[in-house]
Structure formats: structure tokens, C-alpha cells
């Protein structure tokens, strides 16, 4: 089969023939329709996240159809449309897995990292970690939901500030105004969830990126400007999507006392030293790591319920290095997606 292969870090992907995968116990074999390109792929290609196997097929926002089920796999029927996200496996037995935090499992395995991913004509997935998708979905439009959407959603859930009131709600001022630092694939999806929940979104883009600013405003942001600017209103929470450590003290300065700053990326440049007073006032600074299957279910249901739309730029598998470079340069409004098998 044809696949885009990372032979070693800091080199372009090579589109070439490799032997096709076979579904093992509990696995399904998929014919890939589309696979989203994520910033994590850039970090792996650049060696900031050293790939655990080489050569490696990246891609962890996979939409495909089941063509074969391995021994013991009974969750999907042939021809069924499924999605494969970043979390490709977890041990199920450690204290994290048992406590509902399989995203923190030491033995977790990730699609397009430990397991060959979706920048290929075929891939395999553990059926327990694959997500059923609507049969009629458009693969290229759906792919970005599987990481930008899902992990963005987990970051979004962590922006709830206040104290549990004992009846499932929260007390305190709550989260009305959310800042998004970086307005790419994830932010363009999560703004739809925030607006649905009646929140205001403040979008921070690279200084001078008027296209990014206009895109955010067109998506419904209450305010959009450079990350060196400050809106007139204090924020309740912020999500930092861009992998830029300098944004951490900026975001802490923009949020109110008791507010939350969530770093949504898997990798970030070093955070510069900053005065303690930026954190003082019970502000919380935290990261988000990976996703759980519960996040997948919740978010995919929500995306369907509120008809989340994605803005995509589509590339063929042969054009994958161009997709990677466009994403790196911030030339994409929304999400970059590779379509495979002529879909
Ligand atoms: Zn991703
Ligand atoms: Zn575990």
C-alpha cells in the first residue's frame, strides 16, 4: 500500500509503498478515507517528540471504513465508517485507567506514534479505541474532530472555574469569557461549543496575522487581536493552543483572580520566568494530556447535536509535505486534511 513515511526525524515524509498491515486480535483493518494533520505531527517530524519507532506512519485523526475484523473483534461490521483518535490503547489496569484517567496511563499507545497511523491507504486500530461515525459523514470535514476537536474539548472542559456546589453545578463567578491563544484547527471547532454555551471568546493570533484575526471574528469571536494586545475585559479562563511558552505569563495576566489557564498542546517551548504575582490570586495553570474514550463519546455526540462545522484545506497523500509546511507557517484557516483512496 501507499503510505507517507517518516524515515527519521527532521526529514520530509516519504510517500512510498510499504507492506499493508494485518488486523491482530481485537483489531479492525480500515481503508482510510481522510486523515487530519495536527500540530503534534509537526512536533514528531521535527524530533521534538522523538518517534518511538522508525520508520513511522503518522496521522491520528483518521476517518475510514472497516474492511476486515481480526480475531475477537466484533464491535464493527464491514463497511462501517469509524474514526481513530490519538489514544490507540491503554492498559486498563493501572490506577489512572481504573480512575477514569486512561489519558495518563503509562502504557498508553498513541496512533501515528506507537502505532502506524492514517497517512496511508490502510491502517489497523484496536476496536475498543475506535469511534463509530455517522455513515453519511463527509470524511475530510469529520477528520479534524478526532484530535483538534476531541483534545480541544478536554482542554475546554478544564476551563471551568469555581467550586463544585455539591449538586453537579459550580459556584463562584464561573467561566463567561474565554481567551483562545492561537486560532487554528482546535480553536475554530471549540469556539462553536463555547458560543453554544453562551460564552464569549477572545481570540489571540500572531501579531500582524490579519487573516487569522478576521477568521476568528468571522467565526464569532467577541474580540480578536495580536497576542501582544490585551482586550478591555478581564478573562475568566484561557486555553493556549499555540506551542509558545511566552504566552503563559501573557495568559495569566489576562485572566482574573481565580481564573484558569490551560495549555492544550503536547509540546511547548520553555516558559519564561515570570513574577509570582501573575499566578497569585488563586489562578490555576495546568496542562491537558491526550484524551479518554469518554471525551470521545461526549464530544462526538455534542458535535453532532450542535452541528459543529469544520473549515478544511484538503491535500492528497502525495502533497502531504506541503500540508505540513502550510500548517507550520500558519497558512491554513481551520484544519489541514489529507484525503486518501480518492475520497
Ligand atoms: Zn493531534
Ligand atoms: Zn493504564
* Whole-number pLDDT of residue 330: 87
| Least confident range of 169-183, 231-245, 263-277, 320-334 | 169-183
Query: Taking residues 122-135, what's their average pLDDT?
Result: 97
Q: Which three cell numbers stand for residue 301?
A: 455526540
Nearest listed ligand to the Cα of residue 94: 2
Tell me the CA–centroid distance for residue 105 and ligand 2, in Å. 4
- When pLDDT is cut at 50, 70 and 90, the band that residue 285 belongs to is very high
* Whole-number pLDDT of residue 169: 64
Q: Which residues are bridge partners to 173 per DSSP?
A: none
Give the Cα separation of 142 and 81 in Å (integer). 11
Give the Cα separation of 288 and 73 in Å (integer). 31
Tell me the CA–centroid distance for residue 275 and ligand 1, in Å. 32
Tell me the CA–centroid distance for residue 99 and ligand 2, in Å. 9
* Whole-number pLDDT of residue 161: 73
Across the chain, mean pLDDT equals 95
The yes-or-no answer to whether 2-144+291-300+308-339 and 159-287 have a common fold is: no
Give the Cα separation of 170 and 164 in Å (integer). 4
Query: Taking residues 281-294, what's their average pLDDT?
Result: 96
* Whole-number pLDDT of residue 162: 66
Nearest listed ligand to the Cα of residue 43: 1
Phi then psi for residue 22, to 5 deg, are -115, 140
Strands (E), the chain: 2-6, 14-17, 27-37, 56-57, 62-69, 81-84, 87-89, 109-110, 122-126, 131-132, 163-164, 170-171, 177-181, 200-205, 223-226, 235-240, 255-263, 284-287, 312-316, 335-339
| 138 has pLDDT over 70 | yes
| Least confident range of 136-145, 170-179, 329-338 | 170-179
Tell me the CA–centroid distance for residue 307 and ligand 2, in Å. 33
Q: pLDDT digit string (tens) for 51-89?
A: 999 999 999 999 999 999 999 999 999 999 999 999 999
Domain map of the chain by residue range? Answer: 2-144+291-300+308-339, 159-287
| Whole-structure pTM value | 0.94
* Whole-number pLDDT of residue 95: 97
Nearest listed ligand to the Cα of residue 102: 2
* Whole-number pLDDT of residue 168: 65
Nearest alpha-carbon partner for 60 in 14, 117, 143, 140: 117
Q: pLDDT digit string (tens) for 106-117?
A: 999 999 999 999
CATH homologous superfamily of 2-144+291-300+308-339: Medium-chain alcohol dehydrogenases, catalytic domain (3.90.180.10)
Nearest listed ligand to the Cα of residue 243: 1
Tell me the CA–centroid distance for residue 42 and ligand 1, in Å. 10
Tell me the CA–centroid distance for residue 98 and ligand 2, in Å. 7
Give the Cα separation of 310 and 36 in Å (integer). 11
CATH 3.40.50.2300 fits 159-287, yes or no: no
- C-alpha distances (whole Å) from 193 to each of 63, 137, 163 are 22, 19, 22
The three-state secondary structure class of 257 is strand
Tell me the CA–centroid distance for residue 136 and ligand 1, in Å. 24
* Whole-number pLDDT of residue 333: 87
102 near 90, Cβ under 8 Å? yes
Amino acid at each position: 500500500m501507499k503510505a507517507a513515511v517518516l524515515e527519521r526525524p527532521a526529514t520530509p515524509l516519504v510517500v512510498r509503498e510499504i507492506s499493508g498491515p494485518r488486523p491482530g486480535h481485537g483489531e479492525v483493518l480500515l481503508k482510510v478515507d481522510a486523515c487530519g494533520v495536527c500540530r503534534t505531527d509537526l512536533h514528531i517530524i521535527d524530533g521534538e517528540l522523538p518517534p518511538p519507532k522508525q520508520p513511522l506512519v503518522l496521522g491520528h485523526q483518521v476517518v475510514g471504513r472497516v474492511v476486515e475484523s481480526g480475531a475477537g473483534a466484533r464491535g464493527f461490521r464491514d463497511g462501517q465508517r469509524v474514526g481513530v483518535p490519538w489514544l490507540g490503547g491503554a492498559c486498563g489496569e493501572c490506577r489512572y485507567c481504573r480512575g477514569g484517567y486512561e489519558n495518563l496511563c503509562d502504557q498508553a499507545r498513541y496512533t501515528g506514534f506507537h502505532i502506524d497511523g492514517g497517512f496511508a491507504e490502510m491502517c489497523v486500530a484496536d476496536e475498543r479505541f475506535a469511534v463509530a461515525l455517522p455513515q453519511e459523514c463527509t470524511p475530510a470535514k469529520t477528520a479534524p474532530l478526532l484530535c483538534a476537536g476531541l483534545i480541544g474539548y478536554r482542554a475546554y472542559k478544564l476551563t471551568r472555574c469555581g467550586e463544585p456546589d455539591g449538586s453537579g453545578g459550580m459556584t463562584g463567578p464561573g467561566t463567561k469569557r474565554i481567551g483562545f491563544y492561537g486560532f487554528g484547527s482546535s480553536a475554530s471547532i471549540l469556539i462553536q461549543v463555547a458560543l453554544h454555551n453562551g460564552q464569549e471568546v477572545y481570540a489571540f493570533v500572531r501579531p500582524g496575522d490579519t487573516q487569522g484575526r478576521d477568521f476568528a471574528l468571522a467565526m464569532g469571536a467577541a474580540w480578536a487581536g495580536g497576542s501582544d494586545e490585551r482586550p478591555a475585559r478581564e478573562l475568566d479562563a484561557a486555553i493556549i493552543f499555540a506551542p509558545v511558552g511566552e504566552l503563559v505569563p501573557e495568559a495569566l495576566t489576562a485572566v482574573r483572580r481565580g481564573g484558569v489557564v490551560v495549555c492544550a498542546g503536547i509540546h511547548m517551548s520553555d516558559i519564561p520566568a515570570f513574577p509570582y504575582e501573575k499566578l497569585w490570586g488563586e489562578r490555576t495553570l495546568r496542562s491537558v494530556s491526550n484524551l479518554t474514550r469518554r471525551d470521545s463519546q461526549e464530544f462526538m455526540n455534542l458535535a453532532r447535536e450542535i452541528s459543529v462545522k469544520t473549515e478544511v484545506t484538503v491535500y492528497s497523500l502525495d502533497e502531504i509535505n506541503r500540508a505540513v509546511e502550510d500548517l507550520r507557517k500558519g497558512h491554513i484557516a481551520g484544519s489541514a486534511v489529507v484525503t486518501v483512496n480518492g475520497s
